[in-house]
Amino acid sequence: MTSPQYAPVAVSSSQRERVAHILSMAFANDRISLEQLDERLGMVYRAQSQAELEMLLADPSDASRSLAWEAEGAARIASPQIVADRGVLWGVMGGFERKGPWIVPRHLKITAIMGGGELDLREAKLGPGVTEIEIFALWGGVEIIIPDGVRVELVGMAFMGGLSVSGGDISEDPNAPVLRISGLVVMGGADVRKKNRTKKSEKRYLQALERAEQVRRLTGER
């Protein structure tokens, strides 16, 4: 008796458009070249399964990473069992940078003295509930880039410096992760924000969308 053959799940127009959007964002951010964009866009509208579509989102520089992580920019939640209780980042007369896929500790202490650094949470995983980031900056600066879907609470103080938040979700979703920023900034700065596209990347993004539309029309996709 032969096992039944299952047809692949049909690919919807909205799924193709999602992948085309992510590829356009990746091109705008210099993650893929124009040649790679054109090649993958052509395959988007020929793909016969969702698995084929997802394969097109592999990062050319690291096949284990997905281009969707940065493009979709939504907060990801880690299981509580794997989230560390505490972590430390230092930038003393120097700098630090933390980005890419990683798991943010429940309580992260950042110190920037005559130095500073960048904390990029767009590909990170947060624990459910509240994640606390405590900042001490003296003649230094800290930049925190946040994804969509995160509520931000600010309870810090600045003396002859600045502490600002220009991003954060205001939805009433009770399951949305909360980022609580606290600490002291003296003659320095701390900036919590979403990272917007530059004029150059915006132009590349629109260029990519136009090419995607041309490919869609050539394939007759509706």
* 136, containing H or E segment: strand 130-138
pLDDT (tens digit, 9 = 90+) per residue, 172-193? Answer: 667 778 999 999 999 999 999 8
Instruction: Tell whether 97 and 142 lie within a shared domain.
Output: yes
Handedness of CA 95, 97, 103, 107 (dihedral sign): positive
Range of the domain at 102: 76-187
* Residue 39: closest CA among 66, 11, 10, 60: 60
pLDDT (tens digit, 9 = 90+) per residue, 60-111? Answer: 988 778 887 766 656 678 888 999 999 999 999 989 999 888 999 999 999 9
Instruction: Tell whether 31 and 54 lie within a shared domain.
Output: yes
Instruction: Tell whether 53 and 87 lie within a shared domain.
Output: no
Instruction: Tell whether 64 and 85 lie within a shared domain.
Output: no
Beta-strand ranges (E) seen in 45-85 are 58-59, 62-66, 76-77
Instruction: Tell whether 97 and 127 lie within a shared domain.
Output: yes
pLDDT over 60 (residue 6): no
Q: Is residue 156 part of a domain?
A: yes
